[in-house]
């Protein structure tokens, strides 16, 4: 079996990722190494690398006119955020997006394009800022298409309280099962 066939499919196959939508994103550092700071008294305290990740998240909305940002948090070894893709702003089509057929859009979706830009630019900035280690994000990212207000509310709450639940989080290295 080829390596590409072994990989778990991350995207929701019935969803057209070229369409407007709300997306819950989770990205982990490679090997889930704690690089972005520490949770102290149930609050995330960012170090310089965590601040870079936060700045690059904000940069997405400046760089891409179809992007709006919602609740997010940078954790010691991962990132959660809600990204909103909205191509038709103020009743006008976004001129930087060329309409194409759905098959093309599924392969070249705006969500992946945007998340790849986030991962690439944050990695480059972190690696330029230090020489102690080479920083990498985990391959790909997790996404969840948010389809209703109830789901949006629950995910916002999950993100907001994420640092308070760090001690029991399965992504916390202390909680990993060997």
pLDDT of residue 20: 87
Buried b (16+ CB within 10 A) or exposed e, 61-91: eeebebbeebbbbbbbbbbbbbbebebeeee
pLDDT (tens digit per residue) in 90-132: 544 444 444 444 444 444 478 989 999 999 999 999 999 998 9
Binned at pLDDT 50, 70 and 90, residue 32 comes out as very high
pLDDT of residue 98: 43
Is pLDDT at 55 greater than 90 in this prediction?
Answer: yes
In eight-state DSSP terms, residue 30 is: G
Binned at pLDDT 50, 70 and 90, residue 10 comes out as low
Is pLDDT at 4 greater than 90 in this prediction?
Answer: no
Q: Look at the pTM and tell me if it is higher than 0.75.
A: yes
Binned at pLDDT 50, 70 and 90, residue 12 comes out as low
Binned at pLDDT 50, 70 and 90, residue 25 comes out as very high
Percent of the chain at pLDDT > 90 equals: 66
Please report which residue ranges of 83-160 form alpha helices under DSSP H: 102-107, 110-129, 149-160
pLDDT (tens digit per residue) in 154-165: 999 999 999 999
Inter-residue contact 89 to 40 (CB < 8 Å): no
On the 0-12 / 13-18 / 19+ scale of CB atoms within 10 A, 152 is middle
pLDDT of residue 13: 63
pLDDT of residue 97: 45
pLDDT of residue 178: 55
pLDDT of residue 89: 57
Domain map (residue ranges) of the chain: 10-161
Closest CA to 35 of 74, 72, 66: 74
Q: Which CATH architecture has domain 10-161?
A: 2-Layer Sandwich (3.30)
Interatomic CA distance for residues 106 and 155, integer angstroms: 25
């Amino acid at each position: 079996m080829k390596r590409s066939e072994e990989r778990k499919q991350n995207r929701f196959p019935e969803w057209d990722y070229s369409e407007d939508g709300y997306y819950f994103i989770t990205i982990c550092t490679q090997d889930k190494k704690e690089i972005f700071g520490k949770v102290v008294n149930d609050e995330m305290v960012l170090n310089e690398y965590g601040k870079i990740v936060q700045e690059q998240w904000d940069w997405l909305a400046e760089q891409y006119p179809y992007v709006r940002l919602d609740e997010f948090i940078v954790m010691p070894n991962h990132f959660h955020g809600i990204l909103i893709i909205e191509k038709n702003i103020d009743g006008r089509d976004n001129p930087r997006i060329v309409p194409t057929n759905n098959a093309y859009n599924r392969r070249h979706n705006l969500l992946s394009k945007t998340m790849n830009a986030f991962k690439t630019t944050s990695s480059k900035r972190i690696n330029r800022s230090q020489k102690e280690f080479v920083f990498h994000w985990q391959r790909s990212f997790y996404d969840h298409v948010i389809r209703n207000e109830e789901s949006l509310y629950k995910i916002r709450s999950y993100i907001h309280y994420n640092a308070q639940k760090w001690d029991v989080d399965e992504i916390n290295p202390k909680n990993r099962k060997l």
